[in-house]
Structure 1
């Protein structure tokens, strides 16, 4: 019985990991479609900071999602250097939320 429960737990974790991977791929595709990957990359600085650097900077910041969503919508400058980030008012709020959640999960 104990091994059956353990096996079920392993299967559940596997399914959850697969779902997270699919969600991450979908969010990355959404970032690509929205034009985010023209200036950002997951691992390295392009024009803007890498997404891993963004996640590290805002780790533990409870207001990070709202700050980053506003920054994407309105644009901004000065946080990561002199290159401004243009506004992206055409990106839907729910898409921005998905992208921000994905970035912060890195």
Structure 2
């Protein structure tokens, strides 16, 4: 096994392979998302029922005008943007918490 790694390294001009992990996720934001019951349908990295939040960030990156649209969508619910599934309203989370979470989601870098 060691020989194969050395051969691969030599074949690449001696450079090292580096695999970058996604940046760590803010545990306070995950806690707020959990308390707000967002994690029932969403995950940062993978699609659950709703889209992965990194995919949301990627789709809306550089579009600050969408922030309030997303806040309203989370609060009131809606569908048709990420497929045929319908997003339930999440009024119990409260507009302030929804706004905090949407701002955070939109800052997530690509993995």
State the TM-score, normalizing by the size of structure 2: 0.72
- Structure 1 residues 16-67: Cα deviation after superposition (integer angstroms, max 9, x where no partner): xxxxx79x32121101111101101000101000000000010011212101
Structure with bigger gyration radius: 2
Q: Shift of the alpha carbon at 1:102?
A: 1.1
| Backbone CA RMSD of aligned residues | 1.4
Q: Does 1:69 align with 2:71?
A: yes
SS in 2 for 1:102: helix
CA distance in 1, matches of 2:78, 2:36: 17
Detail structure 1 runs of 4+ shifted over 2 Å in the superposition. none
CA distance in 2, matches of 1:91, 1:35: 8
Alignment partner, residue 32 of structure 2: 30
Which residue of 85, 88, 98 corresponds with 2:87? 85
CA distance in 2, matches of 1:40, 1:46: 5
Q: How many residues align?
A: 85
Question: Structure 2 stretches of 5 or more lacking a match?
Answer: 1-23
